[in-house]
Amino acid sequence: MTSNMTLNMTSNISTLRLQPLLISGITCLIVFCNGISFAQSAAANKSKSPQTYAELAKAPEKWRTRENPLAADPDAVAAGRKLFEGHCAECHGETASGGRKGPSLRAQEVQQATPGAIFWVLTNGVVRRGMPVWSKLPEPQRWQIVTYLKSLGLPATPNVTTK
Ligand code: HEC
């Protein structure tokens, strides 16, 4: 009788002891795995992958060659900057030099893209890669943003003036 009870008690104790161990083991594993995938996505965000900006090159000919009707509009740069600050800066940074979520739009890939290609990217987004669709923004406003982006130009080169 007594020996039976002690046997029962010891087996109960051993399962009781094992359970928290098992649970904490599994929790550790989950936390660890999450840590790894978090670190991976953070790293992916930091170093721009070769696919960044790839969408610009995919613009169909019809769009790529389209002229910006507001390219010479003197008010378009200021209007475009306002729109940019309201809609785009949150991801691409206040000065379009890149932010936590979006790449720099002063990069060569963007500055050398045709206005039509940029307009096409705005219209269609790169949704699977985190760039929203802006087709709800009226066309003239999209062109104003394009004019503003184009006004940024490539990183400054020394100004050679002859006087
Ligand atoms: C929610 C964040 C977010 C907002 C808001 C946003 N973008 Fe982006 N944008 C991104 C990301 C992320 C990419 C990179 C996509 C990729 O990897 O191709 C991107 C890419 C781009 C590109 C390059 C296209 C390419 O092939 O990557 C342009 C041009 C651009 N954005 C312009 C804009 C403009 C202009 C606005 C405002 C109207 C805007 N974005 C708003 C996140 C954003």
Which ligand 1 atom is the nearest neighbour of the CA of 137? 38
pLDDT at position 46, please?
44
Distance, CA of 40 to CA of 28 (rounded, Å) = 18
Task: State in Å: Cα 131 to ligand 1 middle.
Answer: 4
pLDDT at position 49, please?
77
**Measured from the CB, is residue 126 less than 6 Å from ligand 1?**
yes
* C-alpha to C-alpha distances, 146 to 66, 91, 92, 125, nearest whole angstrom: 12, 17, 14, 14
**Measured from the CB, is residue 143 less than 6 Å from ligand 1?**
no
Name the residue of 77, 91, 101, 143 whose CB sits within 8 Å of the most ligand 1 atoms, as the mutation to test its pocket: 91
Whether 135 contacts 68, CB under 8 Å = no
- Ranking 37-51, 78-92, 116-130 by mean pLDDT, the lowest is 37-51
User: What token pair was written down for 37?
Assistant: 């995938």
Stretch 9-16: mean pLDDT, rounded?
A: 57
Q: Is the pLDDT of residue 156 over 80?
A: no
**pLDDT tens, residue by residue, 127-143:** 999 999 999 999 999 99
Stretch 55-83: mean pLDDT, rounded?
A: 97
Task: State in Å: Cα 116 to ligand 1 middle.
Answer: 15
Question: Which residues fall within 8 angstroms of residue 55, CB to CB, at 6 or more apart?
Answer: 121, 126, 129, 131
Q: Nearest-CA neighbor of 80 among 28, 18, 147, 31? A: 147
Residues in the chain: 163
**Measured from the CB, is residue 103 less than 6 Å from ligand 1?**
yes
Residue with tokens 């949150």: 90
**Measured from the CB, is residue 53 less than 6 Å from ligand 1?**
yes
Alpha helices in 66-152 (DSSP H): 76-87, 89-92, 108-111, 115-124, 139-152
**Measured from the CB, is residue 88 less than 6 Å from ligand 1?**
yes
**pLDDT tens, residue by residue, 33-53:** 455 554 444 444 445 678 899
Stretch 106-119: mean pLDDT, rounded?
A: 96
Helix (H) or strand (E) holding 14: helix 2-46
Residue with tokens 């008010």: 75
Query: pTM to 2 decimals?
Result: 0.74
Question: Which residues fall within 8 angstroms of residue 46, CB to CB, at 6 or more apart?
Answer: none
Stretch 76-95: mean pLDDT, rounded?
A: 98
